[in-house]
A and B are shown apart, each in its own frame.
Chain A
Amino acid sequence: MSLDTTHAPVTSAAVPRPVAPSGARPVPFRGGGFRHKPLGFVGPLVFVALIALWELGSRTGFISPIALPAPSEAFAAFMDLVQTGMLWTHLEASLYRLVVGWTFGSLLGVSVGLAIGLFSFVRAGFLPLVSALFPIPKIALLPLFIVWFGIGEGSKVATILFGTFFPTVIATYGGVDNVDRNLIRMGQSFGLSWLSIVRKIIIPGALPAILSGFRISASIAIVLLVAAEMIGAEFGIGAYILMAGALFATDQLICGVAMLSILGLTISFFIGKAEKYFLNWRT
């Protein structure tokens, strides 16, 4: 690349290899780190190690049984649930509330979010309302929910529905707002109909935001499960946890909390799959 090579006549002769002067050394490498390698086994390992340490701490009395029950006790509580068949009763009750509440909350949320994203009139009317209602802790409204929706499934589903509705609205209209304006211009310039632009450009463009909204709203739904099952729930993981708390049965408490956490992991796994499937076009 030096100047004289550019003046040299073009020949097909091999370029002579440079000879390294003595004392030449490799350039020091400084580019390592700051990059994540997939280390799939580390997560479970840390998990198992923590539980083993915890068990050890409980057995040696280092961790007082009042502070934390041993993991084996929590597991025993879990086996009790399995043997009595109550596990399915609780799971079924909770899953029903989660699925119905989350599905309707999300459907409504996406619809309202799209409307806010697409129509100035709706935005002007509803956005302040959404901003005003979102921060209200739904738990504070429980006594009112009892009057509005009753102590049956209504108030439980409603708690989860309201809890998931608002974050979905905000994620959705945020997603719509963030769709590349140029793509919309492109659609218009090719004379695409309004509906085509919404269906083929705006919704797919907002999908990443909507899906990450789902991730958040699913977690919120699980968090709200305990609150939802405060009202007249005989069965359900939340009701089980509340009862364990009231009786200070810490083994059952930890068992219930662990079930919620596993539920969360499972849902997050499925949303991850959905993201992989729907957003494979992302870099």
Chain B
Amino acid sequence: MTSTIIHSLAAITLASGVALTAPANAQEDTVQIGLLSLTSHAPSIIAEAKGYFEEEGITAEFVSFQAAQPMAVAIASGDVDFGVTAITGGLISLAERGAVKVIGGALQETPEIEGQKILVSRQAHEDGVTTPADLAGRRFGITTAGSSFHYMAHKIADAEGFDRSELSLVTLNSVPAVIASLRSGQIDAWSIVPNIAGGLTRGEDVVEIGVIADYVEDYQVTTVFTSTDIVENNPELAERFLAGFSKGVADYNAALVDKTMSEEETAEIVAMIHEYVYTDRPLEDADPAIRAGAMRINENARLNLGSVEDQMEWFKSEDLVPAEATVENLVDTSFVETF
């Protein structure tokens, strides 16, 4: 009991950006789902709107966050039950403390689908940075230490055969700050998902010089995770959640990635996503932005364990996580198919 209180307290203080605080122990069939305003969170939105969660006996409630880190903390404290986020130093650290577990995969780079792009500023491009091999000695923007951007930057350095320290990483703490820095030429390079990259390269200031898929094979970008408490004491809830989530994934891929769905149904799905993503724009404007550059989300929330292991190795090599951290502590493989 007491530890619940302390957990909640920690969540209130640490999880700045929680739009809605829910009771720590959700009712049997009500789950709190953490949401970032990104298209990759669409499966949960679709599953809720189409009643897939309801079919599983789950009432879904969304809790909005501004960043992945507070969401991870809120899940650790039990204020939120499920979330989707990139594997970060923070997430591994929380998993090492026995607070959270990855239970499935979400966004993944696949060869046939357009994936994350490597971008440089116009200035850098004119200076001769035209391929990722030219990035040595350049300033590469990342949000925080241990973020997916940090990982991608080092994977590029490793594959191109120059020392990681030759990339000068600039920590900017937020995506808008990275964008501002790149566009004004304060940093030289960045890597980002295609729908944001597309928006940037359409302008004058930013040029695409490569794709991440060439450097990270089948990169498992984001994963589904929950609290260790649910994994241990209520695994059946996690299974039901994943079942509903997977149906959402199937619809998302069909509508926006494989485009096998009728236009009418696709429009319906876009409208559902628009309830939570790009809400600041009218639907007509948001529609193309939501459709553009949709990346595949793994069917049935399958998880690329190989990619997770590679990421873990990298975190350890950079001393960003405790040396004793393991994939076993991070991932519970009993829920989904892994490969």
Contacts and interface: CB of A to CB of B under 8 A. Distances in A.
Q: Chain B interface residue count: which class? A: 35 or more
A151 B88 contact: no
Interface string B256-289: 0000000000000000000000000000000000
Contact of A64 (B6, B147, B321): B6
Most central of A144, A245, A248 by chain B CB within 10 Å: A248
Interface in A136-193: 142-144, 146-147, 150-151
B334 interface: no
Contact of B10 (A68, A147, A151, A246): A68
A66 B77 contact: yes
A146 B93 contact: no
A249 B186 CA distance: 29
B224 interface: no
Given A67-B7, A142-B177, A143-B177, A248 B89 contact: yes
Interface in B58-104: 69, 72-73, 76-77, 88-91, 93-94, 97, 99
A151 B184 CA distance: 10
A65 B69 CA distance: 17
Given A66-B10, A66-B77, A243 B180 contact: no
A132 interface: no
A242 B72 contact: no
Most central of B3, B94, B143 by chain A CB within 10 Å: B3
Given A66-B76, A232-B181, A246 B172 contact: no
A239 interface: yes
Q: Chain A interface residue count: which class? A: 20 to 34
Contacts of A242: 144, 171, 173
A99 interface: no
A13 interface: no
B174 A246 contact: no
A234 B165 CA distance: 13
Nearest to A253: B14
Contacts, number: 100
B180 A147 contact: yes
Given A64-B3, A67-B6, A68-B10, A248 B173 contact: no
Contacts of A151: 170, 172, 181, 186-187
B146 to A, nearest CB: 5
Contacts of B7: 64, 66-67
B9 A246 contact: no
B145 interface: yes
Nearest to B4: A64
Given A146-B172, A230-B171, A232-B181, 5 more contacts: A232-B171, A239-B171, A246-B69, A247-B89, A249-B93
Closest 3 CB pairs of A and B: A246-B144, A67-B10, A247-B89
11 contacts: A64-B7, A143-B176, A143-B180, A151-B170, A151-B181, A151-B186, A234-B171, A247-B90, A247-B144, A248-B91, A249-B93
